[in-house]
């Protein structure tokens, strides 16, 4: 059974694993918690929005209290999402949010904060796969087809310096969004 460090991580896992029948990512999820022995298990079920195939995911929830979203988990690396998958998500979201930020007035950039914070969290997750004292994430950490392909294509993206630079740049973008602030609340 899959072990998720948070419901946020479980949702990302489901987002990354499309319908085996049609390949759609559209999945209307219903959620419940079950006690199975000593474990709490999050069960997600629903029909594929494209072909109607019933989908079901079960995640044993980690015992550690999860950090608040958008963090995916605590200090340990994910057991269900590899660093290449986190890179895919981080770059896709940061690219999309970056384009939107360029075309959004400063007074409205706060609307993109959640997307930017999500990208920051995905970049930070990659660092958790870096063994202490090592200069790069080992090839053995890449377990998904997406992750293995990204590692083969650009192994230098998983070196310490590149990982730390990506995290720092993403945090700077988030800080810029935060400095832009939110609009004043309507007093009506």
CATH number for the domain whose boundaries are 2-61: 2.20.25.420
Q: For the segment 21-58, what is each residue's pLDDT rounded down to a tens digit? A: 999 999 999 999 999 999 999 999 999 999 999 999 99
pTM over 0.85: yes
CB neighbourhood size of 42 (10 A): 19
Dihedral sign computed on CA atoms, order 55, 87, 62, 117: negative
Domain regions of the chain by residue span: 2-61, 83-180
Q: How far apart are CA 59 and CA 154, in angstroms?
A: 31
């Amino acid at each position: 059974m899959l072990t998720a460090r948070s419901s946020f991580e479980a949702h990302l896992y489901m987002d990354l694993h499309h319908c085996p029948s049609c390949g759609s990512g559209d999945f209307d999820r219903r959620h419940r918690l079950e006690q199975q022995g000593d474990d709490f298990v999050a069960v997600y079920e629903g029909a594929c929005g494209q072909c109607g195939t019933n989908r079901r995911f079960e995640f044993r929830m980690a015992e550690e209290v999860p950090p608040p979203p958008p963090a995916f988990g605590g200090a340990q690396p994910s057991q269900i999402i590899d660093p290449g998958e986190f890179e895919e998500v981080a770059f896709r979201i940061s690219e999309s949010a970056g384009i939107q930020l360029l075309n959004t007035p400063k007074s409205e950039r706060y609307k993109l904060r959640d997307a930017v914070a999500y990208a920051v969290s995905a970049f930070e997750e990659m660092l958790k796969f870096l063994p202490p004292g090592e200069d790069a994430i080992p090839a053995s950490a890449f377990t998904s087809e997406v992750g293995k392909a990204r590692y083969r294509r650009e192994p230098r993206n998983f070196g310490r310096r590149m990982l730390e630079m990506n995290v720092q740049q993403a945090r700077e973008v988030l800080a810029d969004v935060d400095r832009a602030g939110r609009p004043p609340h309507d007093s009506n």
